Amino acid sequence: MTKELVFNALNEQVGSELSAWYSYLGMSAWCSSQQLNGSARWLRAQAQEEYTHAMKLYDFLVERNAPVQLKQIEPPQAEFESIVEIFHAALKQEEENTQRIDAIFQMALDQRAFASLVELQWFITEQVEEEKTARENLAKVKMVSQDPAAILEFDRVLGERDLVLDTSPA
């Protein structure tokens, strides 16, 4: 029972990470439609990162011989008012993810699920970085939001991010 509770929560978290993947992809698609191609690239790379988070947990479940229960993923938000709304949504998403990870960590602690605790420690560290980056992006885009030239520069800088798995046309 102890293990089941934590494994169920980890299965839910696989779904949450995949929802984040889909959500960032939706944001990327909106940016592409606005010709904000640097932001689209950054958000697509972020989506790929979320996919790796999901698979890290998936692999852990498999290694622990735990049942894998894949969840349904809802369609993400497709329309946005502005690039500021995108990065506002990104920060909110990361803050909510941190809360979910913290809750599972607490559960694993209560259940003395030590292997899961070690696995989740990586995610706690990762969320510190994820929130920091999201907060910086939002602060910067808010600063330049009234200046089209500055928005273009913000977009150009974001476009310098590497894609982990670049399947886009050359």
Residues 130-149 close enough to bind ligand FEO by CB under 6 A:
130
> Does the annotation place 88 within a ligand binding site?
no
Are the CB atoms for 26 and 88 separated by under 8 Å?
no
Task: For residue 103, count other CB atoms closer than 10 A to its CB.
Answer: 12
Comparison of 21 and 151: residue with beta carbon closer to ligand FEO: 21
CA 115/CA 143 separation, integer angstroms: 43
Could you tell me which of 124, 159, 150, 144 has the C-alpha nearest to residue 43? 159
CA 145/CA 147 separation, integer angstroms: 6
Q: Hey, is 155 helix, strand or coil?
A: helix
Binding mask 43-82 for ligand FEO (x = CB under 6 A): -------x--x-----------------------------
> Does the annotation place 53 within a ligand binding site?
yes
Comparison of 89 and 151: residue with beta carbon closer to ligand FEO: 89
Comparison of 17 and 155: residue with beta carbon closer to ligand FEO: 17
> Does the annotation place 131 within a ligand binding site?
no
* Footprint on this chain of ligand FEO (rule: CB under 6 A): 17, 20, 50, 53, 94, 97, 130
